[in-house]
Each structure stands twice: as C-alpha cells, then as structure tokens.
Structure 1
Amino acid sequence: MGLKDRALAGVSSLWGAVPNPVRRGVLFATNPHFLVGVVGLVYDEAGRVLVLEHRFRTPWAWGLPGGFIEHDESLAQALERELLEEVGLEISAFEPAVDAEHNVRGRYVSLALEARPRGAPTLDLAKNPEILGGAFFEPDALPTGMYPYHRELVVRHAAGLHAGRRRG
C-alpha cells in the first residue's frame, strides 16, 4: 500500500469515527447550498396544462405553478401548498416528471411533478395578488411570454420525452 493509499485509509477511518450529526454539519458548512423548488405539470381531463401569469416573474410572466420547498415538506406537499396558495386548486395523483432545472449561478434546483386536479378544476385567480391570470392550455398552444424552460418542459413532457436540463 502506497503512502497516498495509507493516508486516505487513515482519513477514512477518522471520518468514520466522527458522529453522524457532526459529519452532516461539516458537509453542510463545506458544500454549496441551493434552494430546492418544485413545478407542476397539472393536466385537466382534456390533457391541457395549467399555466399561470405571475406578477413578479419578469421578463417571462407566464409559467408553470410551483415554488420553493419549505422545511420538512415533500415535493408533493410543496406543490399542493403552492397551488392552494396561488389559485385555490386541490391536486392529487402525483407522478415524477423526471425533469429538473439546475441553475448554478442562481443557486437553485427545480424538480417537476405531474399532477391532476381533484374534481372539476376551478381556479380562484383573485386568491393571491401575485397571480394575474391563469388557464389550462393545449401543450401546443402555450401563451407567449412563457418562461422558456417551462415551455420546453411542457413540450417535451407532452411528447413523452423526459430529460433534465442544466443552466449556467
């Protein structure tokens, strides 16, 4: 065993002796931190996807519903909460859309889930002042001014293509 191998074995055995909470703390302190968000591909019975117009999303006001995950929330719980907060819509039947946007400069990761409204989809567009509008759109007739990644995600998902994307 060479010097390098012996050194790595020694460090490994020392690291193994450190209690898990301390190891997690060291890893947390020494690694980059990212916000984690969720976006929803929410389809109605006709196969149309929910797209919302947001007041504060510039320059692309239109996009999929979603937001950042709070502590102790699952992806599904975060998406449920966001849709209730944004337009009063209850959703279920979660499926991973197997897609992610990773923005290194913006330091966030956004994961996509597919969902369905519970019952008839009724949108309360006056519920949240952040939301200016919203509707269910055919995947090939999305509104202009839509966030490019969300547009690509809808088009790929409608075509049965699931692939992640990484930006900058």
Structure 2
Amino acid sequence: MPSTTLRRRLLHLIQRVPRLFALVYYVYRFLQPKYTLGVIGIVFNEDGQFLIVEHVFHPKHPWGIPGGWIGRDEDPAVAVKRELQEELSLEVEVTHLLLVEKTQHNHIDTAYLCRPLGAVGKLSYELLSYRWTTVEEAPTLYNFHVRAVAKAAHILQQNQHNQ
C-alpha cells in the first residue's frame, strides 16, 4: 500500500487536474467486465397463485415470470414496475427484493416480490398469454424463477403467520 504522503500527493494531483482523473476513470470502466441485468416480478393473487406469462421469445421455457432488461442507469425496482406495466398493463407495488444471482455468462438476474394494484390488462407483443398458477401446477420454469417463487411464497407465509 502506498504511503500516506504518496496518497496525499495523488489526491492533490487529482484535485488540480480533475479531467485527467476522469479520463483514467473512464478507461478503467471500459476495461472492466460488463454484465447485462435482468429483472422479474413475482406477483401473487389473493388465492395464493402466482402470475406466469407465455413469452414469444423464450423457446426453451416459453412460460415464465414476467420481467425484462434493466435499462442503462435504471433502478432495478423501477425496472420491474416498468416491465410489468409494459408487458401486462399491470400496476404493482414492489415490496421485497428476493434474489440477485449470476444466472448466465455475464448476466445477473434480480427478482422482486410485487403486490398487484389492479388487474392484468392488454398484453404486449412479447407475450402470448398469461395465467395464475400454483407451485404444484406450474409448467417447467427457469431455475432462477423457481427459487424466486419459493422465496416469495416463504415471505408471504411468514407475513400471514405474523398477522
């Protein structure tokens, strides 16, 4: 580790020539690994069923949890609300962060528990259909989706038990 004197000199250099530091910072950021970020929203209804959708662009497992990509500089909780609105015309309240995992090469997925604030409306072009299901009746889902649903169900059970 550099001495305090050397670090202080570095600080003074950065303060005198901030554009030099900015250039170094952007070069550093460019060389760092890049990831894509996804988000899903686990939505349960009053009957204890969760929402799944049939995706047009997911050939391996067409049925899954609604969600999508997190945009540049977008908060993940805002992204899940946006995605559910865009795909299902569904307003939700984000209540819990459930999981954050590296699910594929250079891809991180985030799952949130969401409470519906209305009914499902018009579907986007990305979806063929939707339905409410139980864990036992659900079709084959991606492993990340299965873990997220299990965690959401556990939280909901704990909340009901505490009331």
Q: Which residue of 1 aligns with 2:138?
A: 142
Normalized per residue, the structure richer in helix is: 2
Unaligned runs of 5+ in 2: 156-163
TM-score (normalizing by structure 1): 0.74
Residues 98-141 of structure 1: CA deviation (Å, up to 9, x unaligned):
x1220452x1111111111113x2343xx322201111212332
Q: Check whether the contact 1:61–1:147 (CA below 8 A) recurs between aligned residues.
A: no
Q: Please, what is the CA RMSD of the aligned residues? A: 2.7
1:16 CA drift (Å): 7.8
1:32 CA drift (Å): 0.3
1:71 CA drift (Å): 2.5
Which residue type is aligned with residue 137 of structure 1?
Answer: T
Q: Which residue of 2 aligns with 1:59?
A: 60
Q: How does 1:108-123 map to 2 (within 5 A)?
A: 108-119=107-118, 121-123=119-121
Q: Which residue of 2 aligns with 1:130?
A: 126
Q: How does 1:70-81 map to 2 (within 5 A)?
A: 70-81=71-82
TM-score (normalizing by structure 2): 0.76
Q: How does 1:153-164 map to 2 (within 5 A)?
A: 153-160=148-155
Aligned residues: 150
1:49 CA drift (Å): 1.2
Identical residues among aligned pairs (%): 29
